[in-house]
């Protein structure tokens, strides 16, 4: 999970570079597509691990993931109407959500899984 978290942060940083036109090798749309796909894979794997090990806050964690999915979908739809503003809003959302989620919420399950002997 930690390696996937690092990859997600790399993609957010790539999006920032593209928004600032700082030598990004990808377009905004390519970065967002990769981010969406990679994040969904990560969330599904995380949910599976938590379910397998009977994480006590599983339902709440899943609700956070669904809230993320819903917001990202809304931002992508918005980007079709107001591309520049929506992309900036999407970047801000991704950065805030993932940093907060990894640092606060995923740390909780990390400690729980370690107590179960899961690396």
Of 69, 86, 70, the residue nearest 78 (C-alpha): 86
User: So what's the architecture of 2-115 in CATH?
Assistant: Up-down Bundle (1.20)
The pTM is what? 0.80
pLDDT greater than 70 at residue 25: no
DSSP letter, residue 102: I
pLDDT greater than 80 at residue 5: yes
pLDDT in tens, 64-105: 999 999 998 888 888 777 667 778 888 899 999 998 888 888
pLDDT greater than 70 at residue 27: yes
Pairwise CA distance, residues 84 & 88, whole Å: 6
Pairwise CA distance, residues 54 & 112, whole Å: 10
Structural domain boundaries in the chain: 2-115
């Amino acid at each position: 999970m930690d390696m996937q978290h690092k990859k997600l942060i790399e993609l957010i940083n790539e999006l920032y570079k593209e928004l600032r036109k700082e030598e990004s090798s990808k377009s905004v749309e390519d970065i967002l597509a990769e981010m969406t796909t990679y994040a969904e894979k990560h969330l599904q794997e995380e949910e599976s691990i938590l379910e397998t090990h009977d994480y006590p806050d599983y339902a709440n964690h899943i609700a956070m993931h669904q809230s993320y999915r819903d917001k990202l979908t809304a931002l992508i739809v918005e980007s079709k109407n107001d591309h520049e503003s929506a992309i900036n809003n999407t970047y801000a959302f991704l950065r805030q959500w993932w940093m907060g989620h990894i640092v606060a919420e995923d740390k909780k399950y990390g400690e729980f899984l370690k107590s179960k002997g899961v690396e």
